[in-house]
């Protein structure tokens, strides 16, 4: 039976102050997070090296409780044996949830995340004819803030949330207009073969909890 292997996780925190400064009309008191996971299927191998293939994916992008709600959905796969941590014979759903909560608690700052060598480009893709009335109102607001690519039926925004705070603010506020799963809304690239967890390779000042220290 095929299953997903989870090798590593890392999160980056965007504070409410950062998001309000970038886009005050769409943000308020909440901090937001991007949660990334390094994983791959147990039966997929690299043709050149023979090693299992693995890649980084964006698995959550929202305020903490919304990201954790998505994590709980993913955790159901552990119960059926469909997902486990690397070097584990099995992983309980509770273990997966706890690990993700810990990852969010140890989130990196936007600058600190740069030490990981991981890069992210995100997109919001909308088909206008499929939108409900409230979604069309939100789309009009986003179009007023940032001109999209596309045509009369199709709109696309290409964003760099880690480089541009305004892009991050837009992505958090409007990405739900795009009905694709969150992991299909971002292209993530970076070192995937390291044996050490990412958080062991960054400096102490990279952590968001150090900002006020």
Does one domain contain both 112 and 140? no
Q: Are residues 35 and 100 in contact, defined by beta-carbon separation less than 8 angstroms?
A: yes
Does one domain contain both 82 and 56? yes
Dump pLDDT digits (tens) for 75-98: 999 998 999 999 999 999 999 999
Q: What is the pLDDT of residue 213?
A: 42
Alpha carbon distance, N-terminus to C-terminus of the chain = 48
Does one domain contain both 202 and 175? no
Structural domains counted in the chain: 2
- The pTM assigned to this predicted structure is 0.94
Average pLDDT over residues 5-32: 97
Beta carbons within 8 Å of 5's beta carbon, 6+ residues apart: 39, 40, 41, 42, 52, 54, 83, 84, 85, 86
Dump pLDDT digits (tens) for 151-160: 889 999 999 9
Q: Which domain holds residue 166?
A: 119-184
């Amino acid at each position: 039976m095929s299953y997903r292997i989870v090798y590593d996780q890392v999160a980056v925190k965007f504070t409410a102050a950062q998001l309000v400064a970038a886009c005050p009309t769409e943000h308020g008191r909440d901090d937001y997070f991007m949660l990334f996971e390094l994983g791959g299927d147990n039966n997929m191998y690299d043709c050149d090296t023979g090693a299992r293939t693995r890649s980084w994916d964006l698995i959550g992008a929202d305020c903490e409780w919304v990201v954790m709600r998505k994590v709980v959905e993913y955790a159901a796969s552990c119960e059926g044996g469909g997902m486990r941590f690397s070097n584990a014979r099995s992983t309980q759903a509770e273990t997966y949830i706890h690990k993700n909560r810990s990852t969010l608690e140890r989130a990196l700052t936007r600058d600190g995340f740069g030490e990981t060598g991981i890069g992210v480009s995100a997109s919001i893709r909308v088909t206008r004819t499929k939108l409900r009335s409230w979604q069309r109102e939100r789309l009009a607001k986003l179009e007023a803030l940032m001109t999209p690519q596309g045509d009369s039926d199709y709109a696309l925004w290409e964003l760099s949330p880690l480089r541009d705070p305004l892009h991050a603010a837009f992505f958090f506020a409007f990405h739900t207009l795009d009905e694709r799963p969150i992991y299909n809304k971002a292209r993530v690239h970076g070192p995937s073969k390291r044996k050490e967890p990412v958080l062991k390779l960054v400096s102490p000042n990279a952590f968001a909890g150090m900002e006020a220290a």
